Amino acid sequence: MTDLPRYLQLLWGREPEGRRGPKPGRTIEGIGAAAVEIADREGLEAVSMKSVARAVGFTTMSLYRYVDSKEELEAVMLDVAYGAPTFTYDTGSGWRDRISLWARGIAQRRLAHPWTVELIQSAPPLTPNVLAWTEHGLAALEDTPLTSEQRLSAMLAIDGWAQNHLRQSVQMGFTGPVDPESPQGNYLGLISQLIDPERFPQLTAAGSESLGDPDDNFYAEEFDRGMGLLLDGIAALIERHP
């Protein structure tokens, strides 16, 4: 049997008996919360073993009693940022409502900590809160005729799209109302000078209706549209299921 890494032992409460514990007064969750604070305040690039150790009053070497690498620290950060799901599904609710509640719930946690979509995950998650979200997603589709593999694939499709949508929205500055004087707010004015009906007939025909209004919430509106498309695809899969 593969030995659990130290950080997973601490997160899951699986420490072997008799092992010398970390410095009293500190928990792996508290260390993760300190790292989350740094990332929220200064950005992901400001998070290092040294900066987190300083934030919790450790030496850098002391931090290695909890995590063996920055990658493990980032896994703890992600688990803390997500937190455990706090919602339940209404009795009698349909699968579309349930999986939508799941997708919006985890999207809200990520929107509160946008750096979560920039983390490079080298392996599937093993931390308790992240796995709890996976469990909730599977439960949302439990009463459908889909196999477990199909339910996981549906969840991955929704979650992968949602992460990419947030990443693009953050990078382009479209997670809320846009300043009309900003490059984002002036996009329609700029593109109208560049496209002509002969070379770009589709863009010209689409016009401002599809390109949006600076006062709109691009992130929220496109989240609704994208979710609708994905849910329709899952509904089609369910309909043709044996």
Question: Which amino acid, 191?
Answer: I
List pLDDT tens digits, range 82-132: 999 999 999 999 999 999 999 999 999 999 999 999 998 888 899 999 999
Q: Which residue has the tokens 């009053």?
A: 57
Domains within the chain, CATH numbers bracketed:
6-82 (1.10.10.60), 84-175+217-242 (1.10.357.10), 177-216 (no CATH)
List pLDDT tens digits, range 212-227: 555 568 889 899 999 9
Q: What is the pLDDT of residue 209?
A: 59
Q: How confident is the model at residue 210 (pLDDT cuts 50, 70, 90)?
A: low
What is the value of pTM for the model shown?
0.87
Q: Kindly state the average pLDDT of the residues 179-198.
A: 76
List pLDDT tens digits, range 17-47: 655 655 556 899 999 999 999 999 999 999 9
